[in-house]
Structure 1
């Protein structure tokens, strides 16, 4: 038996087939377009996400017997919000992506009106353009004709998981799980349900929101005429970072992981306790079992890490692919005192400054593209250190995501943190987590504890003993971050 896992990320969709031994048998991938209609705005065309999902799935199935599939699991970029017609499933506008900064003024207005403390108390989040609800407020204020059809019930709204399930099931189900719901600013963490108070604050009709379902179990069913001739239960749902936490088998309170993706996200399992941070971290739902037991997490969200490498490739065009970065950065002993603050969409945890902008400082006539590439890798590790300085990090850090394959990045990370960094053999733990959830939902695995045996170490990176050099580099970083703040005002 095997599971099809769909990982609908920020820049593309990956489809993997996971065996009952917890290994990836085959994989398909398809990128989709990133739209930047104005400075600070980021949008995706929902239909392109759907077509990328179909293409990635077909690629995976081309070399695999579909009769062996038992269920589908879905994981996704979280705070991105999409609208679609309940009858035709067509989208009236592009989705507004989690990276989008257009609602900074809405957040400022709500903060000045004194709402942030109550928002944090109910949702575990903060008033930042990152989260979904302010995007919906913006739509209500700026696109009244579209919003009228949301209020009338013609248009559904939801995160990317909800949209894909609607497409896969030909509109039969409109659902989401708590891990995605808890990223909207509309979910009451303690109550485990949508908050009428937050819906009223942000002007969102509650009946437009998806039904809340467990993170695993037989949640919906795919329509073969719509989804690659497959009739399978959709049996697992989780937002990408919670899915990676599950895929890393961080199942006990205190277990932590860092995923290097478009952004980087550090999560620590806090069990059945909601831990409210005073240091710029978020409280979030990790998953909820079919019998209703919640698991929570504390999270540090970094907006731009892998996206900075993508910018080197597509924006500056100084590299041809992300794979080049290790060799190029290793060709110089250090960054030559160049520091890159990749605040390309503002700063997330622990700074939370939507007005910050990217900064490269320390350039000289001797600076080369190798120095800039190395500074980019260093920036990723500095951002992670910023977050972990506010968390209770254990004896090791487990890492995953595409950039975790970069040995130099992992070594610099260990040097910066002063603790070993462990990389599993399967770094695509986001998709793996969705497969694990779906497999639990249909009985491929009997309990979460059965999943621990599937985790295998690929390499352990030991930190350098030269703490003075690591701390000096980090001090230059903190100085540069201070200079990047407030630039867009």
Structure 2
């Protein structure tokens, strides 16, 4: 029996078919355009998200009989659509988008941040869905009136896809709901007071379900298949890395970088501007995590390739970094859409420091890869200060985790071992396990954790004094970027 995982990401949509031992069999992938109508604005055409999903699902599953489907998705991205036609009323506003920064300032100035943090575990920031949804209601002609008449539906990308896959089921899961800044992570319900604060009609909101349950049935493959697992991409990767025990931590390197530390049933309130989030909810019981979010990781390599023309293909950066001049301390702060945790500076923009007459493409490539390691250390420093159970080993996954050079620098700069699993597509693996488990095809947590297999461990080799010198140089560059 086989399981289909749909992985709808920020720059592409993938579908992977797994067997009942959760081994990948076939994969299909489609990229789709990114839209940048103004500085700091990032949009997707929702029709592209649905079209690429249809294409990859039919391609990956054409030679298989699928028993269950799991969905994982880019989080926080907002879609607002017509309940009758399923057509979006505007482009989706992507999680990276910063257009609501001024309104977020207004909320903070009004003294609302503590209430929002206490209830949602989040900080007030344009990153999250709530202010994006308010913007759509306020700025798209007739959107608010139509919403109040019950004609529109809101959802993150998971909800939008399920709606189309099932012909109208309006649902989400707890891990996506908790990223909207509208969901109370203690009570497990949409928060009426926050919705009123933002003037968001609660009739727009989907039903919130556990991560392993039935979300609906689709006939996209020509026969009925239940959708039995769903999770936001970073929580799916946490499960895919089998970080089921409190104190385990993973870091995923895709478009952005997201580190999650399992804190079990304990909801830890960060004192260092990390997020408290739901790692998963099963049988009505939430497991929590501390999360650090970096907006630009793999996207910095995409920038080198597409905007700067420095590299022809992403894998070229590894060889270029190896050839870079060791005498040059070039530091790139990739704040293209602001800085995430622990800085939370939406108005910051990218900067590069330490340029010399001899700086060239190799030094740019090395600085880009190193920026990912430096930002990860920022997160780990905050996590260590917030929670004494921070682990000594970091599990990594995502596209950039395939780069040996990048992972070795990561181990060097954080001063801890970095473990890369054999299956690095852990987001898809996580929801495949959820769907397979719910379907009775796969075993539970203990069985799945026993299957986790190490591909390679990267041990730190940098002297502590050199590690601290480089990190201090990075910190100075970040503070210069944000004007501290």
Per-residue deviation at 1:71? 0.4
Per-residue deviation at 1:147? 2.1
CA separation of 1:210 and 1:334: change in aligned 2, threshold 3 A: farther
1:216 aligns with 2:212: yes
Per-residue deviation at 1:470? 1.7
CA distance in 1, matches of 2:160, 2:35: 19
172, 185, 188: which one aligns with 1:189: 185
User: Conserved in 2, the CA contact under 8 Å of 1:217 and 1:442?
Assistant: no
1:58 aligns with 2:54: no
2:32 match: 32
User: Conserved in 2, the CA contact under 8 Å of 1:22 and 1:454?
Assistant: no
User: Conserved in 2, the CA contact under 8 Å of 1:136 and 1:202?
Assistant: no
Per-residue deviation at 1:471? 1.5
Report SS of the residue matched to 1:233. Answer: strand
265, 271, 277: which one aligns with 2:264: 271
Report SS of the residue matched to 1:26. Answer: strand
User: Conserved in 2, the CA contact under 8 Å of 1:355 and 1:486?
Assistant: no
Per-residue deviation at 1:308? 0.7
Give per-residue Cα distances to partners, 1:107-139, cap 9 Å, x unaligned.
000000000011100100011000000111212
Q: Which runs of 5+ in 1 are unaligned?
A: none
376, 380, 383: which one aligns with 1:384: 376
1:406 match: 403
User: Conserved in 2, the CA contact under 8 Å of 1:378 and 1:409?
Assistant: yes
Q: Which runs of 5+ in 2 are unaligned?
A: 385-389
TM-score by length of 2: 0.97
How many residues end up aligned between the 2 structures?
Answer: 479
Moved over 4 A (4+): none
109, 113, 123: which one aligns with 1:112: 109
Give per-residue Cα distances to partners, 1:191-247, cap 9 Å, x unaligned.
01111111111111111100011100222111x2xx232421000010000000000
CA distance in 1, matches of 2:327, 2:55: 40
Per-residue deviation at 1:333? 5.2
TM-score by length of 1: 0.96
Q: Map 1:453-472 onto structure 2 (within 5 A).
A: 453-472=450-469
RMSD value, Cα: 1.2
User: Conserved in 1, the CA contact under 8 Å of 2:21 and 2:442?
Assistant: no
Report SS of the residue matched to 1:241. Answer: helix
CA distance in 1, matches of 2:327, 2:3: 43
Q: Map 1:320-339 onto structure 2 (within 5 A).
A: 320-332=312-324, 334=326, 336-339=328-331
Give per-residue Cα distances to partners, 1:400-459, cap 9 Å, x unaligned.
000000000000000011111000000000111110111111111232222112211000
User: Conserved in 1, the CA contact under 8 Å of 2:342 and 2:378?
Assistant: yes
CA distance in 1, matches of 2:161, 2:459: 41
CA distance in 2, matches of 1:153, 1:465: 59
CA separation of 1:355 and 1:446: change in aligned 2, threshold 3 A: same
Report SS of the residue matched to 2:142. Answer: helix
CA separation of 1:446 and 1:47: change in aligned 2, threshold 3 A: same
